[in-house]
Structure 1
Amino acid sequence: MNFEPTVFVIDDDPAVRNAMRFLLESVQMNVQTFASAEQFLQTYTVHMIGCAVVDVRMPGMSGLQLQQRLIQQAFSLPMIFITGHGDVPLAVRAMQNGAAHFLEKPLDDQLLLDAINAALAQDKINQQKRLQLMTIQARLANLTEREHQVFTLVIDKTPSKQIAEKLGISLKTVEYHRARMMEKMHADSILDLLEMTRDARLI
């Protein structure tokens, strides 16, 4: 499995695929080409990093349909759309759905390279966020049931005395579970815990 940043070129025109491969390899970029969105989906996993350069109009699944499929599967691969039709409504839809760029054929080599470099930089940020989310989820999974109950009430800004009343336990026991929860979550303060969970979209 390839974990190096890769440009995935998805276009039903072999001439476009070959030209793009030549251009990108000439600047030492990793490239994989696909003749259809379906072929790409057979290979792609969330662990792959990079960006996709996708033709809007292709036989079978279109570029926009591929974008929707990845959104539904919570994949955040930056996508650069290319078209020979100059279809403004399609461009608007693609950008509204989070496309990195929308370029018209014939492609300007430098504009394409600039767009790809920007998309690769964005994917690096996406990967960092995904790793952060996975780390927080792993920490949460390591909490006991009682610690998770305390965690939920703490991020809801419930005072310890009220937590004790809601859970039917002593204040001392709440403080014990709270301290254990904070340690497992690697949080130095409640503010730190709130920021962590907000970043992970838990609140």
Structure 2
Amino acid sequence: MSKYPTVSVIDDDPSIRAALNNLLKSQGHVVHTFASAEDFLRSSQLNDTSCVIADVHMPMMSGFELLEQMRAQGHAAPFILITAFADDRTRARALSAGVTAFFAKPFVNLELIACLDEALREHRSETDA
């Protein structure tokens, strides 16, 4: 894993993609953004991603479906789900699906960064072992 982890942001809302891109780059991360899960899966970034931040509700493939596909293909990168439609049922589904974290939009930037940094540290120590 490189010194600067690559984070892939997948969200159909261009303003969320831009905001996360700016936030994460300001923290030293390499960031790639995608408007859909399908675009991400077709990209060269799939195998180079250190962490995924994806929206739950997107046209075509949801964040849950993306997580399932990645895990089925053997990708173990930390996975953070974000949504504007958070409820207890969706949160429980996310946590039982094995996501690293679940955030309701709007989220607190510092909380997301802290969670991302911890997930990357843990993933790095698992892959270095």
- The alignment's TM-score, normalised by the length of structure 2, stands at 0.90
Distance in structure 2 (CA, Å) of the matches to 1:97 and 1:126 = 20
Give the match for residue 5 of structure 1.
Answer: 5
Q: Deviations over 1:94-147 (max 9, x none)?
A: 211211000110121101101110121122134235xxxxxxxxxxxxxxxxxx
Distance in structure 2 (CA, Å) of the matches to 1:64 and 1:14 = 20
Q: SS of the residue aligned with 1:115? A: helix
After TM superposition, list the pairs within 5 Å mapping 1:135-174 onto structure 2: none
Give percent identity, aligned residues only.
37
User: Do the aligned residues in 1 keep the contact of 2:8 with 2:49 (CA within 8 Å)?
Assistant: no
After TM superposition, list the pairs within 5 Å mapping 1:1-203 onto structure 2: 4-43=4-43, 44-46=45-47, 48-128=48-128
Distance in structure 1 (CA, Å) of the matches to 2:46 and 2:80 = 18
Q: SS of the residue aligned with 1:102? A: strand
- The alignment's TM-score, normalised by the length of structure 1, stands at 0.59
User: Do the aligned residues in 2 keep the contact of 1:5 with 1:30 (CA within 8 Å)?
Assistant: yes
Q: Report the CA distance shift for 1:35/1:49 in structure 2 as closer, same or farther (over 3 A).
A: closer
Q: SS of the residue aligned with 1:58? A: coil
Q: Report the CA distance shift for 1:45/1:13 in structure 2 as closer, same or farther (over 3 A).
A: closer
The one-letter code matched in structure 1 to 2:53 is: V
Q: Which runs of 5+ in 1 are unaligned?
A: 130-203
User: Do the aligned residues in 1 keep the contact of 2:40 with 2:46 (CA within 8 Å)?
Assistant: no
User: Do the aligned residues in 1 keep the contact of 2:70 with 2:76 (CA within 8 Å)?
Assistant: yes
Structure with the larger strand share: 2
Q: How much has 1:49 moved relative to structure 2?
A: 4.1
Distance in structure 1 (CA, Å) of the matches to 2:27 and 2:46 = 25
User: Do the aligned residues in 2 keep the contact of 1:49 with 1:123 (CA within 8 Å)?
Assistant: no
Q: CA RMSD in A?
A: 1.7
Larger-Rg structure: 1
Q: Which runs of 5+ in 2 are unaligned?
A: none
Q: SS of the residue aligned with 2:76? A: coil
